[in-house]
Structure 1
């Protein structure tokens, strides 16, 4: 018998450790209903589940009109880009999407990538180096942290959403940039963008905002006919905006938005952009179609906001204390990782699929149910979710979850 390699031993040991801590991750095989059916339902092991764990905030990932748009785009452009954007992978579909994003946000230029994680890491490790000091909110996304670590920049973090902490660091460090998120992915709360912008402007420091969970739901898109409208996360207040297409837009890809000088710098220096096959033109055209669909269907955001209000009201009536979020992300902090997993499993037995979030995604002792709402949820869906939560949560958690 061959002797096990050191890597095999390391993998096995790590698996045992994660299992003992209740932190081992496993993929779940899901089967969607037909495209015409509700986007909030899927099938798992033969059981129809209500989906309260997706980031598909407007229900567009299964919108028939957008499925048709993707089909038509694939017929026009093919199914792949075939090359890096700097070879033959940059098409009119990419250009049109970039122009639309700039029109809606007020930024001068855009750069498309295949995912939000890639966009964040690309920006951080290309823009910064060991000569830079970068400030960031304590709860920024892992992709931002990974990119900053790889950049070699000196990285300072302030307490979550603390203006006092941000100002203190700005006063004590000659920083190149301050980074935050528009809507935080685990707590669902919003950054004080206007106040942070004022602090950064006074110091000549760039404000960079990861707008993954706000774009399309917490923004008022700017139409060509009405450029007087502005958002909390547009070029009026921030220097660089990262948006993703896999959440409210329901498709795939991401973009870095900023000045023409920044985008030109990234085109020439970002290794991920230079050496990766470009986002497919069909997906770029789909993202454009999704942006236009949201512009034409403002009732989707209104329905999402209505569902958020209904969910919070029903939770209050059931004695379920939430985390204080006003967005589609509604965390219910349990604390213990294994108990969180057990509660999520009981919810699944009742036909409700809710994300069970454990360390290291969230800090130790703050494992939680991450309940996410969609414009596609009906009032009956939300009522069923609340009834299931009321049934599986122990009384002390109903009243003590923070």
Structure 2
């Protein structure tokens, strides 16, 4: 259904189903102001159907495990052997349950004392912040921190205090104004592939008496010894209060995880609304993650391939004039800026058989939209060459020299 048809459908709904003005105004901002007027009736997230040989770089299965036979077999065996499962909140699970055993296994994998599984990375982040912050408590968030972390601050009715991306100096000035509280960062940022200076943030948290939360969603499985993450790699496990992660990235499943102490875990399960009011994970989902921990911990060859692919693609796109200097890892941002330019970029990539994920407001600032390319360990030589050739061929078509990111690159150099 096209955006224009959506608008007509809403306009012709029976009176009993029509939305009040405060809802239709917001919907019109999307369908009329944004889609029709700004984007000429096209939608930022509607792809053309991929043709044979297309290179799909829109997913987060960094180690290519979604179709791994050993993991699928683990799920199938569990589904076939389960005689029914009680669907209830995880707060009612008893010690020794499958979920509790997996939580202990994941915690050991991340070199943590204990941990809690959540229904998603979103639920983990919202539930954690809602259970530790409160009205009036300053929560310092990197400006590129994931939206779930900002939502958690809102849920806690705490005071959100942003600081410049990866800037401990700016964070320190903000703490001098507002006092100690909670510091929230990503280890590896989901929009541009940049890595946080973890040690500097740890030291600042310690000096200010603040709690530090590190979201490892895009570094768990892909970085650190055995894929245990960047906090483990930097030897900071005893100095970071909480780590969170979406297990829908390198673990290719659907859940979230929080590392914590056993003492905090007991409190969390009685304080976190997402934990209390959501059902526990199903046995076949737990079986997937149980097998995935074993597989990922031994996947050094895939991690090495991912990093090789990342280094090559980044170097070659940079040589072509693309400003990707903000990041270093497997997430690459082609930042065209205003949404109409990003729509042209997405279509130019599609026409050459390359599919990335469009990020625009509210995932980015209003005029900093981009196409995100997420690389993976299984990229073939042909796929890398196809990507580089596409980016070389489309430079004039997408007006690369006049992108906002290109202007920043010129100022930096």
> What is the TM-score of this pair, normalised by structure 2?
0.85
Shift of 1:139: 1.4
Shift of 1:102: 1.5
2:32 to 7, 16, 19: 16
What is the correspondence of 1:87-166 to structure 2 with a 5 Å cutoff?
A: 87=92, 92-166=97-171
Contact 2:141 2:150 in 1 (8 A): no
What is the correspondence of 1:307-346 to structure 2 with a 5 Å cutoff?
A: 307-346=309-348
Shift of 1:78: 6.1
Shift of 1:238: 0.7
Matched, 1:257 2:262: no
Please name the residue that 1:75 is paired with. Answer: 80
Please name the residue that 1:39 is paired with. Answer: none
Please name the residue that 1:241 is paired with. Answer: 243
Please name the residue that 1:286 is paired with. Answer: 288
Please name the residue that 1:34 is paired with. Answer: none
Shift of 1:79: 8.0
Please name the residue that 2:222 is paired with. Answer: 217
CA distance in 2, matches of 1:133, 1:376: 42
CA distance in 2, matches of 1:287, 1:233: 25
Shift of 1:234: 5.2
CA distance in 1, matches of 2:258, 2:77: 26
Local SS of the residue matching 1:160: coil
CA distance in 1, matches of 2:286, 2:362: 33
* Alignment CA distance shift 1:222-1:335 (3 Å): closer
Deviation digits for residues 13-48 of structure 1 (CA, Å, limit 9, x no counterpart) = 232123133398676589xxxxxxxxxxxxx36655
Please name the residue that 2:66 is paired with. Answer: 61
Matched, 1:360 2:368: no
1:397 to 388, 400, 405: 400
Please name the residue that 1:6 is paired with. Answer: 19
Q: Which runs of 5+ in 2 are unaligned?
A: 1-12
Shift of 1:189: 0.3
CA distance in 2, matches of 1:90, 1:392: 57
Deviation digits for residues 319-352 of structure 1 (CA, Å, limit 9, x no counterpart) = 4342342111011111121121122112212221
More helix by share: 2
Contact 1:304 1:328 in 2 (8 A): yes
CA distance in 2, matches of 1:29, 1:91: 46
Local SS of the residue matching 1:6: coil
* Alignment CA distance shift 1:233-1:242 (3 Å): farther
Contact 2:145 2:185 in 1 (8 A): yes
Aligned residue pairs: how many? 384
CA distance in 2, matches of 1:108, 1:11: 46
Shift of 1:194: 0.9
Deviation digits for residues 136-181 of structure 1 (CA, Å, limit 9, x no counterpart) = 1111111111110121111211111111111122333232211111
CA distance in 1, matches of 2:108, 2:83: 27
* Alignment CA distance shift 1:324-1:173 (3 Å): closer
* Alignment CA distance shift 1:116-1:234 (3 Å): farther
Shift of 1:120: 0.8
Please name the residue that 1:49 is paired with. Answer: 54
Contact 2:226 2:299 in 1 (8 A): no
Shift of 1:72: 1.8
CA distance in 2, matches of 1:348, 1:56: 20
* Alignment CA distance shift 1:234-1:105 (3 Å): farther
Local SS of the residue matching 2:63: coil
Superposition RMSD in Å: 2.7
Local SS of the residue matching 1:255: strand
CA distance in 2, matches of 1:315, 1:147: 36
Shift of 1:246: 0.7
Q: Which runs of 5+ in 1 are unaligned?
A: 31-43, 224-228
CA distance in 2, matches of 1:25, 1:90: 49
CA distance in 2, matches of 1:119, 1:242: 7
CA distance in 2, matches of 1:345, 1:9: 30
Contact 1:320 1:390 in 2 (8 A): no
